[in-house]
Copies of this chain bind each other. A is one copy, B any other.
């Protein structure tokens, strides 16, 4: 049978990059391509204990409400308000099945096919594909070392048709590791307000800072009800449990709740209860500090190795948090042959083309690596191998 797929999904296919990386799961490969948190960051014994306690009663096994488990909505709201100044009286909280669902639902309730989402270029492929799957046009705004190029953002806000959303990952961006500066956050907020465009702020890594001072989120400025804030417990408690949250104006949360109900009715209830208990009974801040320190140490090892083994022509970001370093090759080295060569020598990296807002653009010379999951030895050895390939390719 010849299946006639919908316009939105006809063209969305597993990417060529996935094809390149399909052997990257081989345990002998140094997994610089992964997007996983380090398993040591999951509080396994607390999770085991809390699961057992919650399962003393069958309550977690019954249907829950789409908005989310009430006590978790309250504890998330409270923590975000007190620690990060996020949330006003007009805001409401929705528990989502991971951060991904928050991004997808936001676009679903706001964008018609053909509407435009302005996104940092490069950006998180999972979000870009969610927007594309809704039929939205993704238009990139080049990322500078302190956030979007604001001149180009202004230009696109004026010139692109039907701009509905500005999507940004404000801290330790995926794939670049970059933080948008406070000045740029304020200016993006001002521009969005002026143009009547909603900001979708994605912040799954913000708490994972291991150096420098926190920068207030864009949502923390939001006195006008124009920011949808999406975050997640995936990098803090467990990625596999799929629990995230959105804080946004109640009217938007209400529509997202209707949309969520059509997708999965509600998020796994046991793990919602578990997140609530961890937030209120365990020392969440100390736990997060521990993860940040782990990543800070690993990042330091990787950056030191890059300093030592990368030839001068290779540039790379020096993140203050999060999971990723973004490396850029000299222009004379072709990216995809480099990535293939690395894989054949046992190192998987993600070619920057995977994160391009314009999928027809293959002029990219950057690649993403993570320091989160490899062992300390793999961090050094992997960088050494990448350095060798660069030198051989020059």
Contact = CB atoms under 8 A, between A and B. Distances in A.
Interface string A222-261: 0011100000001001111110000001011011001101
A255 B48 contact: no
A61 interface: yes
A8 interface: yes
A196 B267 CA distance: 36
Interface string A45-64: 00110011001101011111
Contacts of A266: 240, 242
Contacts of A164: 4
A300 interface: no
A146 to B, nearest CB: 28
B255 A268 contact: no
A130 B113 CA distance: 17
A152 interface: no
B240 A3 contact: no
B262 A61 contact: no
Given A1-B226, A62-B39, A258 B13 contact: yes
Given A240-B61, A240-B270, A262 B109 contact: no
A6 interface: yes
A266 to B, nearest CB: 7
A44 B58 contact: yes
A226 to B, nearest CB: 6
B6 A109 contact: yes
A80 interface: no
Q: What range describes how many residues of A lie at the interface? A: 35 or more
Interface stretch (A97-105, A173-181, A205-213, A315-323): A97-105
A98 B266 CA distance: 9
Contacts of A264: 97-98, 100-101, 242, 263-264
B48 A55 contact: yes
Contacts of A238: 60-62
A286 to B, nearest CB: 19
Contacts of A268: 97, 240-242, 268, 271
A164 B198 CA distance: 34
A110 interface: yes
A265 B262 CA distance: 16
B112 A6 contact: yes
A99 to B, nearest CB: 9
A36 interface: yes
Interface in A302-351: none
A42 interface: yes
A108 B263 CA distance: 10
Nearest to A373: B62
Contacts of A130: 262-263
B1 A224 contact: yes
A238 to B, nearest CB: 4
Closest 8 A/B residue pairs (Cβ): A240-B269, A61-B238, A130-B262, A97-B264, A48-B55, A268-B268, A42-B61, A133-B262
Given A6-B111, A100-B264, 18 more contacts: A3-B110, A3-B198, A5-B110, A36-B63, A39-B58, A44-B55, A47-B55, A48-B55, A51-B51, A61-B239, A61-B240, A62-B238, A113-B113, A126-B262, A129-B262, A133-B258, A241-B270, A264-B264
